[in-house]
Amino acid sequence: MSISHPLLEDDGKAIRDPVWGYIHLPGPLLALVDTEDFQRLRNISQLGFVHLVYPGARHSRFEHSLGVYHLAKQFLLRLLNSDPPLQLTDEDVRVFLAATLLHDIGHYPFSHTLEELMPFFVSHEERARQLIEDPAGAIARVLQQELDVDPVRVANVIDYGGTHRKIPQRDLLLANILSGTLDPDKIDYLLRDSLFCGVPFGESVNRDRLIKAIKYDPDRRRLAITSKGISAVESLVFTNYLMYRNVYWHHAVRAATAMFKRSVQDILMHPDRNLQVGDFHRVTEGELLMVLREEQNRLGLKGARALLDGVVHRRLHKVAAFVHPGERKQGLLHFLYDLYQHPEKRRQKEVELSHLFGEQLSQEATGDEILIDIPRFDKTPEVDLKVFYSADVPSDKPQPLSFDDPEVSRLRESLVDNFEDQAKIFRIFCVADGGFLPLAAEQAKRHLR
């Protein structure tokens, strides 16, 4: 029996998308898109500073959010008609589709860059909850009046992490469909980012096979796949690795990101700043650049202003050194992790190294000649997925099998080491002039302690 829902029909306003073709938005969901907070996403870049390396990467969180919604509809239709079918209420469907549209509503300007400045900024998921649950906000009004759903449920599907809040099981089920190894968010951004960067990696992902292979695992209350989708998932996992190695964590992208973070951090740590964390919440990227420049000029932060101008005009710090895989001893990793968890300690070490090398060169350092770049420690290829084989495929093991099982795929075990060694690189960046670069290349790593 085919199960459907009015909001899952291809009906309503049609929007042409370069990845998925026509995306249809029924009236209640179109009302969400028309809110001021959602329209702001047109001016929030999907990839931050990646365009400095791949000029075509100018797409925004707006079209990505539409793409996630479109793909999530295909997922839901498949799951509702799978064997066994996913059991959802009419309200569950409305909550889920609203969450797919709003999953990035809390993003700050320039992708994930600002979130790493802990504790100044909360995660974009938590920020999304604040926006969605705001009783005076347009989003809450549309959710209640147009979609007849509780904003708290929609926020739960997006912001479900942490131990401080208990999320109902029915909302966790929807969250597990939206976020995971095989989810509409990841599939859309990998295909979309690949397309706009002009790299071929996303072309290998068999999107039709992925959707057809999806099924619901009632025991784990998560997405699973049939064995026919193994190769499609492998191509998705490998594409994810290639995008991190070649695009997201490209050394020039990381340099621009480190410079921007430091230019903002210098403002936030200044005792006389007027700029508050709340000033970052609803601004576009162009507006934020203007505000940052005004504040840097007012506070006399010449170094921070130079860093920001360097990003805007692509005068980037250069790689002075990087930590090789063989050099990652436990003590060094603990030191780097501490710097990652405490940005103020990282900044202190950068200032210390800048002045140390400035003294050796008999130059006055501003404290930002040296920048330490530490990618997310918790980022690694994850394939938490079960695979169901049909009855005509013999196996000595009970079903379903884990995707990591050697009988299913050995891809992840080889990718993890490669990701840690070749993609997740700890770099020391240095200003290109003034004689700092050769000095940093020779000495910087020995001071990482």
Indicate whether 13 and 154 sit together in one domain. yes
Indicate whether 186 and 309 sit together in one domain. no
Tokens at residue 379, please?
């980022």
- Domain-located, residue 172: yes
Indicate whether 60 and 162 sit together in one domain. yes
- Domain-located, residue 403: no
Domain boundary among 152, 183, 198: 198
Residue whose pair of structure tokens reads 């990841």 in the numeric block:
186
Indicate whether 131 and 274 sit together in one domain. no
Rounded Cα–Cα distance for residues 245 and 209 (Å): 25
Rounded Cα–Cα distance for residues 33 and 30 (Å): 5
Residue whose pair of structure tokens reads 């306003």 in the numeric block:
13
Contact 346, 372 (CB under 8 A): yes
Q: Which stretch of 20-29, 190-199, 280-289, 392-401 has the lowest confidence by average pLDDT? A: 392-401
Strand order of the β-sheet with 214-217 is 214-217, 222-226, 386-388, 401-402
Indicate whether 173 and 287 sit together in one domain. no
pLDDT tens per residue across span 413-449: 888 888 888 888 999 999 998 899 999 999 999 998 8
The Cβ of residue 77 has, within 10 Å, a number of other Cβ atoms equal to 18
Rounded Cα–Cα distance for residues 308 and 291 (Å): 12
- Domain-located, residue 388: no
Give the whole-number percent of the chain exceeding pLDDT 90: 76
Rounded Cα–Cα distance for residues 80 and 4 (Å): 8
Per-residue confidence (pLDDT) for residue 284, from 0 to 100: 95
Per-residue confidence (pLDDT) for residue 240, from 0 to 100: 93
More confident residue, 116 or 214: 214
The Cβ of residue 313 has, within 10 Å, a number of other Cβ atoms equal to 8
Domain that holds residue 137: 6-198
Residues 53-56: contacts with CB within 8 Å, 24+ apart? 53/247, 53/250, 53/252, 53/253, 54/196, 54/197, 54/198, 54/199, 54/247, 56/196, 56/197, 56/198
Domain holding 88: CATH number?
Answer: 1.10.3210.10
Indicate whether 18 and 123 sit together in one domain. yes
257 residue type, one letter: T
- Domain-located, residue 253: no
Of 189, 166, 167, the closest CA to residue 95 belongs to: 167
Indicate whether 275 and 359 sit together in one domain. yes
Indicate whether 58 and 191 sit together in one domain. yes
Strands 13-17 and 401-402: unpaired
Residue 214, strand partner residues: 225
- Domain-located, residue 209: no
- Domain-located, residue 120: yes
Strands 386-388 and 401-402: antiparallel
Tokens at residue 386, please?
């079960």
Neighbouring residues of 4: CB distance < 8 A, sequence distance ≥ 6: 77, 80
Per-residue confidence (pLDDT) for residue 82, from 0 to 100: 84
Indicate whether 282 and 133 sit together in one domain. no
- Domain-located, residue 49: yes
- Residue 327: band (very low, low, confident or very high) from pLDDT cuts 50, 70, 90: confident
Neighbouring residues of 401: CB distance < 8 A, sequence distance ≥ 6: 386, 387, 389, 395, 407, 408
Indicate whether 151 and 37 sit together in one domain. yes
Indicate whether 282 and 194 sit together in one domain. no
Per-residue confidence (pLDDT) for residue 5, from 0 to 100: 76
Per-residue confidence (pLDDT) for residue 154, from 0 to 100: 98
pLDDT tens per residue across span 255-273: 999 999 999 999 999 999 9
Per-residue confidence (pLDDT) for residue 393, from 0 to 100: 66
More confident residue, 142 or 404: 142
Indicate whether 191 and 266 sit together in one domain. no
pLDDT tens per residue across span 123-174: 999 999 999 999 999 999 999 999 999 999 999 999 998 767 889 999 999 9
pTM: 0.94
Rounded-to-10 torsion of CA 436, 437, 438, 440:
80
Of 411, 416, 379, the closest CA to residue 230 belongs to: 411
Rounded Cα–Cα distance for residues 2 and 82 (Å): 9
351 residue type, one letter: V
Domain count, the chain: 2
Domain boundary among 160, 179, 198: 198
Length of the chain: 449
- Residue 43: band (very low, low, confident or very high) from pLDDT cuts 50, 70, 90: very high
Domain boundary among 198, 214, 237: 198
Per-residue pLDDT, averaged over 21-37, amounts to 97
Contact 280, 114 (CB under 8 A): yes
Average of per-residue pLDDT values in the chain: 93
Per-residue confidence (pLDDT) for residue 338, from 0 to 100: 95
pLDDT tens per residue across span 338-385: 999 999 999 999 999 999 999 999 999 999 999 999 998 888 877 889
Residue 60 per-residue DSSP state: B
Of 285, 205, 308, 195, the closest CA to residue 247 belongs to: 195
- Domain-located, residue 313: yes
Per-residue confidence (pLDDT) for residue 394, from 0 to 100: 64
Rounded Cα–Cα distance for residues 68 and 90 (Å): 20
Per-residue confidence (pLDDT) for residue 1, from 0 to 100: 40
